[in-house]
Amino acid sequence: MSRIVYVNGRFVPFEEATIPIMDRGFLFADGIYEVSAVLDGRLVDNEAHLARLDRSLSEIGIRNPHGIAEWTRLEEELVTRNGLKEGLVYMEVTRGVAERDFAFPPEGTPPTVVMFTQAKTVSANPLAERGAKVITVEDLRWKRRDIKSVALLAQVLAKQQAAAAGVAEAWMHEDGFVTEGGSSTAFIITEDNRIVTRPLSTALLPGITRRAVMRLAEENGLTVEERAFTVAEAQAAAEAFFTSASAFVMPVIEIDGTRVGGGQPGPMTRRLRDLYLEMARAS
């Protein structure tokens, strides 16, 4: 089956999909993206992702070209056309195509919409069994990290450092505290079983998986504490993990070469991953 992608109202073979060189996403990273997981051929927690897409677009003044129902229909059609059972749907909206000029293009310039799928093992991920190692890097990003902008250069550099170190993720820190992962939300679990993650602010992305995991934890009688934590505290924690739409709940077993929780995925992290998978399969 050939790969089908979506570009501005049309489903086309991947090889035929093109974007003009004057697209502002290409020239200025002037766009927003979103990623939803697909499990058993169905979208996971998708309405929350679409709500965040809407909010990100509105924060930078791009008109959302579709409502939730239309986005969902397009995503589902893309999943079906690609026969996708497990993986993700990527969506991007840019401020459109216009002669290069920093200020917004003329009123009525249509946003560019691109969507594609990626097949990926998200449920039976061997890394979740072994546990992931992470390194820490300075957070080099701008001050509106709550917006899911396609300007990802700082994350590209952080993730390349992680790849060069042979680890799965880079946790970014600022003023001594962990902000979040390059493409994930960072969590630790304290010796007295408190699940700790940084409170939402403009310093980090409001993770959709973060929200779901916090809700599941609370529904199951676990304690969640929203506060910032340092790298040293994370290294000394009972357990650590990160969350994202495609990693779900990923145990962390090493931070900057220091083993966490005896170098094994911890029991509470495993439980949270199971709870999340159960929720995802039921969605």
4/276 with CB nearer ligand PMP = 276
Tell me the residue nearest to ligand PMP as measured from the CB: 209
* Cβ closest to ligand PMP, residue 94 vs residue 183: 183
* Least distance CB 122 / ligand PMP (angstroms): 11
Closer to ligand PMP by CB, 97 or 280: give it.
Answer: 280
Cα 224 from Cα 221, distance rounded (Å): 9
Residue 184 CB, nearest distance to ligand PMP (Å)? 5
> Please, are residues 178 and 231 in contact by the beta-carbon 8 Å criterion?
yes
Of 24 and 49, CB closest to ligand PMP: 49
CB neighbour list of residue 88: distance below 8 Å, 6 or more residues apart: 35, 36, 37, 38, 117, 118, 120, 122, 245, 246
Least distance between ligand PMP and beta carbon 205 (Å): 4
- Contact residues for ligand PMP, defined by CB under 6 A: 35, 180, 183-185, 205, 207-210, 243-245
User: Per DSSP, what are the bridge partners of residue 251?
Assistant: 241
120, 133, 143, 148: the catalytic one is 148
Sorted by sequence, the CB contacts under 8 Å of residue 156 that are 6+ apart come out as none
- To ligand PMP, the closest distance from the beta carbon of 141 in angstroms equals 8
Q: How far is the CB of 229 from ligand PMP (least distance, A)?
A: 16
- How many other CB atoms are there within 10 angstroms of residue 63's CB atom? 13
159 annotated active-site: no
- Closer residue to ligand PMP in complex, CB, 97/137: 137
Nearest CA-CA partner of 53 in 39, 72, 38: 72
Residues with catalytic function: 148
